[in-house]
């Protein structure tokens, strides 16, 4: 099975600046800078709407593939921050984060001003460590 969302060479800043909503653009550029510093990785586009950092490979019943270790997308309704191990190990951090919603591996934030950025940094850093322990990572 070929995954629809693949790493590609599209320009990350061009994508963020094309989002259209001024606050999402500002927050997207801030997340780009923050996650680049935190991960030490260059941002890459995954599909046409995910900004990813690093890469891990996995195997599953459909064969497996590759996916960013962490990343984000400045979507119309919210900023989506990808916390790939899920949130089982983040209950204390989530209590201190501020206004957010959760999906399976997505942290939804309306705007960065709604959260504590230091807590977000802790969550992302811990998430990366967990992924590096579980999977082969680049």
**pLDDT at site 136:** 84
pLDDT tier at 1 (50, 70, 90 boundaries)?
Answer: very low
Residue 76: CB partners within 8 Å, gap ≥ 6? 19, 20, 21, 24
Whose CA is closest to 120, among 40, 53, 34, 56? Answer: 34
Q: Is residue 99 within 8 Å of 110, Cβ to Cβ?
A: yes
Q: What is the mean pLDDT of residues 38-55?
A: 95
Q: Which CATH class name applies to 7-134?
A: alpha beta
**pLDDT at site 76:** 85
The helix/strand/coil state of 59 is coil
Reading across the β-sheet that carries 79-83, which strands appear in turn? 7-8, 43-46, 50-53, 70-74, 79-83, 106-109, 101-102
- The 10s digit of each residue's pLDDT in 83-127 is 999 999 999 999 999 999 999 999 999 999 999 999 999 999 999
**Domain range list for the chain:** 7-134
């Amino acid at each position: 099975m070929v995954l629809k969302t693949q790493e590609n060479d599209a320009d990350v800043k061009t994508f963020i600046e094309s989002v259209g909503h001024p606050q999402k653009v500002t927050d997207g550029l801030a997340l780009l800078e923050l996650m680049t510093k935190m991960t030490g990785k260059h941002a890459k586009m995954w599909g046409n709407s995910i900004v990813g950092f690093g890469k891990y490979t996995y195997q599953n019943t459909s064969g497996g593939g590759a996916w960013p270790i962490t990343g984000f997308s400045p979507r119309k309704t919210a900023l989506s921050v990808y916390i790939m191990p899920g949130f089982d190990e983040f209950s204390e951090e989530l209590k201190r984060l501020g206004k957010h919603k959760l999906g399976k591996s997505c942290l939804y934030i309306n705007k960065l001003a709604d959260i504590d950025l230091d807590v977000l940094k802790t969550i992302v850093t811990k998430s990366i460590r967990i992924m590096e322990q579980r999977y082969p990572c680049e």
